[in-house]
Chain A
């Protein structure tokens, strides 16, 4: 059974600081997704990573994928309050399916 583990599950950080969220998974996969969810809202796609060594950046967020280590990271640079949300990674399985991690609830404090 596929396991997708995120850590930390809760993250409180100061504005301006850097931090990394980790996503480990237990089976081979060719694609990894990061989503953002604001309170009371649905999920918004952030990144899709499709190959080993893939790196994508959008603003203060950068995601990377190491398929050999079965690890993806979401790095936050110089955090701002607007980044406060829950971040989910999801691992692609089978042909068109994915399974989600438990999510990392990020709070950025002034």
Chain B
């Protein structure tokens, strides 16, 4: 079946511009996560959506970052007034059921953001 998809795969933007990154989770997955991975680094948690609950935004690095999830499916991560330090790969993951079983996260291919 279809996995997690993300778009665009690559985005080059000028400093100060806003960008939107999109994630389509696996159909039926109730949980959706955004992570950031800088070059050669580990994964930095950004935000987590679970069903209709209020999202866990504790990982967002600044108020320039926001995310929404419409209809419990597609999610958009928005970065306003981009800075060069925002350059990274942004990974989205989804997970099936909360509180049951392995709760394994399945990752998308990522969006590579370059801020010039």
Task: Please report A residues at the B interface, Cβ cutoff 8 Å.
Answer: 31, 33, 35, 41-45, 48, 50, 88, 90, 92, 95-103, 105
Known A42-B109, A43-B107; judge A95-B42 contact (CB<8 A): no
Q: What is the interface size of chain B, counting residues whose CB is below 8 A from a CB of the partner?
A: 26
B41: contacting residue among A41, A50, A102, CB under 8 A: A102
In angstroms, Cα B21 to Cα A103, docked, is 25
Given contacts A42-B107, A96-B48, A101-B42, 6 further A-B contacts (CB under 8 A): A33-B104, A42-B109, A43-B93, A50-B102, A96-B103, A100-B35
A102 neighbours in B (Cβ, 8 Å): 41-42
B residues sitting closer than 8 Å to A (CB atoms) are: 31, 33, 35, 40-43, 45, 48, 50, 56, 91, 93, 95, 97-99, 102-110
Given contacts A41-B109, A42-B110, A97-B48, contact A31 B103 (CB under 8 A): yes
| A96-B95 in contact given A42-B108, A88-B42 (Cβ < 8 Å) | yes
Q: How far is the CA of A97 from the CA of B56 in the complex (A)?
A: 10
